[in-house]
Amino acid sequence: MNASTTITTRRYDGRPQRHLHGYAQAILPVAGRMAVDVQGRSFEAAPDRALLIGPHAVHDFEADASARFVVLDIGKADLVGRFFTEPLASRAIDAQAAGYIAFLATAPMGSQRLAQSPSAAALALELLESSSIDTKRTARQAGLDDIYRRLCADTAGQLTNTDLADTLYLSTRAFQRAFKARFGRSPKQVQIEARLSEAAARLASGTASVGLIAEAVGYGDASTFIKRFMARYGDTPQRYRQRVRKAL
């Protein structure tokens, strides 16, 4: 791998092209868009989205004829190892990263010191990484909030931690840790609370038997349901029903 680093501004002619090179490459859009495909995986570089292409990755691409990009050719092994862990990846561009890209686009690249500066390239990559971490964090929080709402509505107890973790592309253990860190309770605790609240509402307003209500809120074993109900409400389901109805 060529160990050099170069920073250039480039335009492309709008025609489909295919490239292969031994160094990694970061495509930082200044204006316009570029579609890139590597091994069937496709992303688009746009003003809010940069692309990272790993070394030795055959990539097909097509850019707007009027598009302009800052391109980082990265041969330095430590930068490649830190930032280019996939053949093709997409990174969000926040305001700070966009400002730095604009600076690189207007800087006098005739200056060899900047055009071949590993530290200037590293700063651009670090800003992209930081921006993407913030974006991922925000998206994950929104995903956890949605899962919390789904658990509260899951009065039949059908959702599993594995299924919920998969929606966030997390392992089950990582999902449980993230959920508890955000809400102070485990997914199971939230789910049980929702099921018991539903059971309490049915006991207060309906005539169904305790066994049928237990089944409706996902308990095949009525004794487990009664035990959990007593722990939550301090009464058996039957006594709870009598107490609540007397109070009405």
Q: What is the pTM of this model?
A: 0.55
**What is the secondary structure of 49-109 as a DSSP string?**
EEEEE-TT--EEEEE-TT-EEEEEEE--HHHHHHH--SSEEEEE--HHHHHHHHHHHHS-T
- Beta-carbon contacts of 8 under 8 Å, excluding residues fewer than 6 positions away, are 70, 71, 73, 109, 115
Q: Which residues pair with 93 in a beta bridge?
A: none
Work out the percent of the chain whose per-residue pLDDT is above 90: 55
At residue 136, the pLDDT reads: 60
At residue 218, the pLDDT reads: 92
* Chain position carrying tokens 């973790």: 165
At residue 101, the pLDDT reads: 92
At residue 167, the pLDDT reads: 87
User: How big is the chain by its Cα radius of gyration, in Å?
Assistant: 28
Q: Which pLDDT tens digit goes with each residue over 84-127?
A: 988 988 888 888 889 999 999 887 755 556 678 888 899 999 88
At residue 117, the pLDDT reads: 84
Q: Which domains does the chain possess? A: 5-109+117-135 (2.60.120.280), 154-248 (1.10.10.60)
* Chain position carrying tokens 């492309």: 12
Is residue 43's pLDDT more than 60? Answer: yes
